[in-house]
A and B are shown apart, each in its own frame.
Chain A
Amino acid sequence: MSLRNVGIVYRKELTEALRDRRTVISTILVPLLLFPVLSVGFGSLAVALVGKAKEEVPKVMLRGGGDSPEVVEGLKKLDKIEIVAETPDWKDQIINKEIRAAVEIPAGFQADVAQQKSDTVHIYNYEGEMKSEFASDKVEKYLKDYSDTLVKDRLAAKNLPVGVLKPFEFKRENVAPPEKVSGAAFGGIIGYMVILLCMTGAMYPAMDLTAGEKERGTMETILSSPISRMHLVLGKFFLILTAALGTAALSVLSMGVSFSVLGHYTSQSAGGREAAAGLILKLGPKTVISVFLMALPIAVLFSATLMTIALFAKTYKEAQSYLTPMTFVVIIPAVAAMLPGVELTPKLSLVPILGTSLLCKELVAGTYHWNLIAIIFASNCVYAAVALFLAIKMFQRESVLFRS
């Protein structure tokens, strides 16, 4: 095999790729911009929106309570909510977001409390709507504090200590370091993004170097040169692989920078420290290199497979229609890896994209199961070798190269 010839084809394809706007966008710009936009952009926006929602003084409608002045006064004194008068369309007002919640004090509530009878105070809200949830939380906190005060008063009246109702305390504590906690939360999406971008990075050059070449009429030109078809396909393959790996490398790099910028930004902002603890994702060099190494055989697999499929097409458009469904083939296992409870097992390690995606989750969390890493790397190398072999074989077939 002549590495010189493979190198000549590779350098020429690289020159052309760097002059192709579509390839530059999909290989360089998208991975560089996607993570900052997703993490810093949307992250900052989310923090700002949550902060703003918390600062809002929500309108809460009071239903009943005419015979319970103490609790009503207590609610009205809360400076974090605005109590509005009762109207019959209170449900619609909650749904239409005119008021955020309603609290219903049952008739005779205060008298029942005095006689130590149990009543139920209802809080009505719009579940899932953030501002409505915040308003309900505020009302609920007040009612809980009020209930605690009553309990304390009752115990005091009977000369009983508070501990009589709480024989012991219990507390849940996290022992995992922060990077593992955030890794468990974000690791899935990291693997997903790296795999998906690896694929999109390979897609445009794969189409351009095969179907694009047929469509532009340069396939016959190159086939008339003395280079062997194996050298030709390898030169093209290495360029597609470069694009896939370049996209993956840039995406991992961009991701690391984005998360550290996001962490820095949120921890600097007032009241953002708590949020920052959950958002900071520490991607050290070891994690970055590990994710990149695991992406390597996947990138080979994608490059060879996409090139083989695109080679069947006569035109760029036809190649697009063949390769677009491939995105779903990649997305489904990658998304499956993000589902809660899906853990890396030896069997799942053998599933091409799912195994790598699950492994990325573990790697980002700082966990290294070396036996599974070996299985995934080896199996992906086998799949990649088969795909590359098929690509070389397809390039030898006249019925594929000169399909009409």
Chain B
Amino acid sequence: MIEARGLSKRFHDKKRGEIRAVDNVSFTCQPGKIYGLLGANGAGKTTTLRMLATILEPTDGTAIVCSYDVVEQPEKVRANVGFLSTATALYRRLTAQEFVEYFGRLNGLDEATLKKRVDDIFTRLDMNGFRDRRCDKLSTGMMQKTSIARTLVHDPRVMIFDEPTNGLDIMTARTITAFIRECRNNGKTVIFSTHIMSEVEKLCDTIGIIQSGKLLVEGSLPQLRDKYAERELEEIFVKVVTPHFVAEEAN
């Protein structure tokens, strides 16, 4: 389970002064459910997810991930989280197997458990054909599968996906969305950020719309449709975001 409690992140920029990338964001993600964080570029999605994955430290507020506090126990949080984004690249001079094993060891798995886990994952994801191939020689699809294997190797209870299909071709993107669904079916808590409406419509149990670092609205897709009297998620998104977007532009 993930519980964000007033998460905030401020950065200091020499030209623009203080920037509130995330401003007092609170939400809850339940096990076996997918929470979709929807927002435009620069809305604060990545910063929020990085704080949940303890890659960034919150300026104010905190989050509880699998009963661990992201500020107080970041290493324990990371041991229970699988984090995947298009920015999480592979070590190109390692083979696919070496790469996955490396992260398994960093997650504290002993060699016997690691071997069994790697064999299982490589078979399940149909990766045995390229397990000894260096990552710089893999196709995009193979790379994504290797990244997925990396997030699964320690069998985390929480999965965080930051725009995981960004820039991918449709076939590779489908591999990722299928994997996200599988995570939910396996009872994992999943949070997923994107600006692609169709993915949210297909995958998410709860949707949170974020703009200018603020969580503006959240609910299930039917709840949002009722509230804004719109069928298409894109229309709902525009209705929610436009007033804030205009105000931001004016500032």
Contacts and interface: CB of A to CB of B under 8 A. Distances in A.
Interface of A: 5, 8-9, 12, 15-16, 19-20, 216-218, 220-221, 223-228, 398, 402
A225 B90 contact: no
Interface stretch (B100-108, B208-216, B233-241): B100-108
Contacts of A8: 102, 105-106
A224 B92 contact: no
Contacts of A218: 88-91
B88 A5 contact: no
20 contacts: A12-B94, A15-B93, A19-B134, A216-B89, A217-B89, A218-B88, A218-B89, A218-B90, A218-B91, A220-B88, A221-B89, A221-B150, A223-B55, A224-B53, A224-B55, A225-B106, A226-B76, A226-B106, A398-B56, A398-B57
A41 B183 CA distance: 64
B82 to A, nearest CB: 8
Contacts of A227: 75, 106
Given A217-B87, A220-B55, A398-B57, A226 B107 contact: yes
A226 B75 contact: yes
B55 A225 contact: no
In order of increasing CB-CB distance, the 10 nearest A-B pairs are A217-B89, A224-B83, A226-B78, A226-B79, A221-B88, A19-B93, A16-B93, A225-B106, A8-B105, A223-B55
A15 B103 CA distance: 15
B26 interface: no
Contacts of B91: 12, 16, 218, 221
Given A218-B89, A218-B90, 16 more contacts: A5-B106, A8-B106, A20-B93, A217-B88, A218-B88, A220-B55, A220-B85, A221-B90, A223-B55, A224-B55, A224-B81, A224-B88, A227-B75, A227-B106, A398-B56, A398-B57
A226 B88 CA distance: 15
A19 B89 CA distance: 18
Interface string B42-73: 00000000000101110000000000000000
A23 to B, nearest CB: 10
B3 interface: no
Interface string B99-120: 0001101111000000000000
A217 B103 CA distance: 16
B87 A220 contact: yes
B227 to A, nearest CB: 35
Contacts, number: 61
B137 to A, nearest CB: 12
* Chain B interface residue number, banded: 20 to 34
Contact of B108 (A15, A19, A20, A226): A226
Contacts of B56: 398, 402
B93 to A, nearest CB: 4
A322 B76 CA distance: 36
B218 interface: no
A320 to B, nearest CB: 19
A163 to B, nearest CB: 80
B199 interface: no
Contacts of A19: 93, 134
Contacts of A225: 78, 103, 106-107
A221 B75 CA distance: 14
B94 to A, nearest CB: 7
Contacts of B83: 224
A113 to B, nearest CB: 82
Interface string B216-228: 0000000000000
B133 to A, nearest CB: 13
B211 to A, nearest CB: 21
Contacts of B105: 8
A44 B53 CA distance: 62
B98 interface: yes
Given A225-B106, A225-B107, A226-B108, A216 B92 contact: yes
Contacts of B89: 216-218, 220-221
Contacts of A220: 55, 85, 87-89
A362 B14 CA distance: 51
Contacts of A223: 55
A229 to B, nearest CB: 9
A16 B106 contact: no
Contacts of B94: 12, 15-16
B55 A228 contact: no
A217 B81 CA distance: 19
A226 B79 CA distance: 5
A34 B90 CA distance: 35
A224 B83 CA distance: 6
Contacts of B55: 220, 223-224
Contacts of A221: 88-91, 150
Interface centre among A16, A218, A226, by most B CB within 10 Å? A226
